[in-house]
Amino acid sequence: MLVNTTMAELSDLTFRTAFIVYIVALIMSFIYYGRVNGVIEARREVQAKQKVLVGAGGPEVVDTQSPLEDEEYAAKIASARKWAGMTQALVWVGVALHVVAFITRGLAAKRFPLGNLYEYILFMTAVIMVVAAVVIQRKGWHTVWPWLLFPMVIAMFLNSTVFHMQAAPVVPALQSYWLPVHVSVVSIGASIGLVSGAFALLYLLRMWQPKGEEHGFFGALARPLPSAKTLDQITYKTAVITVPLFGIGIVFGAIWAEVAWGRFWGWDAKETVSMITWILYAAYLHARATAGWKSTAAAWINVFAMCMTIFNMTYVNTVIAGLHSYAGLN
């Protein structure tokens, strides 16, 4: 089966272009984050001065609720949000290029493009960005973008350098209709799980630095973030989608294993780590619904699940040899 080199080059080009677009979006998100942080900090400084003035016997008519006039504060936030709008628009441009890169990769190889680690990460990063772009729509949530775009840019850089592979036919073991069924469902579930884990980390940071009570370096980092309640809700809602999707993907893999190898389960490294990851996500949902686990304890389980996904995607795929050694690197 000959590879369409034109489509392969187009796939690489659009992927790298998406990478550049995300970098520009990341820079704009940093500017927005910094401007919002500055406005909030200025407002709180004036608030603190007013409290000191009143406490020292100053006039009680001082407005302790609004350090800047409400209209002035709203105008400053609106001005900062222009950068958020540009960030969101660029993200969607990057997502479009990202999806084109995946589609043209498949057209180049003349198969479903999930045959090696490069294509796996290409697909997962695209899904993550689509999910993130859909979730982060509300104005008050745009401050999350730097926290998501930065690791995404790193992942895409590594994928285009360390993990990159030329388009080629897949090994015989992957020449099955189960490839798009199993791998795509598992990948989508894992991608949404990574988004959930990222929000769980931000939730933990916000719980450590409550809104209005931030202090120190990490307090300055957390200041523009949404409330802990908002971050917790997003973490939970994305995990609710992750558990069934990831679980169904594992079941599809077991069925494929029975067809290909004559057994449903063989305790292969990737199978085992995937099952542990699913159990952790399910445990998070259970813990969050359990009294006494609704604060940070449940969120830590979600973070551990995210770490297991990353471990599975990198170390297990590249170092550990097994029946799932199709990364093209080991």
pLDDT in tens, 309-325: 999 988 888 887 666 66
- Contact between residue 8 and residue 105 where contact means Cβ atoms under 8 Å apart: yes
Query: How many C-beta neighbours within 10 Å does residue 289 have?
Result: 11
Higher-pLDDT residue of 265 and 245 is 245
- Contact between residue 87 and residue 29 where contact means Cβ atoms under 8 Å apart: yes
Rounded Cα distance, 262 and 241, in Å: 31
Could you give phi then psi for residue 324, rounded to 5 degrees? Answer: -105, 25
- Contact between residue 51 and residue 64 where contact means Cβ atoms under 8 Å apart: yes
Q: Which residues contact 169 (CB under 8 A, 6 or more apart)?
A: 1, 3, 109, 110, 111, 115
pTM of the model: 0.88
Question: What pLDDT, on a 0 to 100 scale, did the predictor assign at position 263?
Answer: 85
**pLDDT over 90 at 278, yes or no:** yes
**Closest Cα partner for 25 from 156, 158, 120, 122?**
156
- Contact between residue 94 and residue 25 where contact means Cβ atoms under 8 Å apart: yes
Per mean pLDDT, which range of 115-119, 171-175, 209-213 is the poorest?
A: 171-175
- Contact between residue 10 and residue 107 where contact means Cβ atoms under 8 Å apart: no
The SS3 assignment for 125 reads helix
- Contact between residue 119 and residue 105 where contact means Cβ atoms under 8 Å apart: yes
pLDDT of 52-70, one tens digit each?
555 555 555 444 445 445 6
Q: Which residues contact 237 (CB under 8 A, 6 or more apart)?
A: none
Confidence of residue 259 (pLDDT cuts 50, 70, 90): confident
DSSP class of residue 226 equals -
Question: What pLDDT, on a 0 to 100 scale, did the predictor assign at position 55?
Answer: 53
Query: With b meaning 16 or more CB within 10 Å and e meaning fewer, what string describes 233-258?
Result: ebbbebbebbbebbbbbbebbbebbe
Structure tokens at 117: 């680690």
Q: Which residues contact 236 (CB under 8 A, 6 or more apart)?
A: 285, 288
pLDDT of 154-172, one tens digit each?
999 999 999 999 988 887 7
Number of residues written out for the chain: 330
What is the residue extent of each domain of the chain?
Answer: 1-168, 171-330
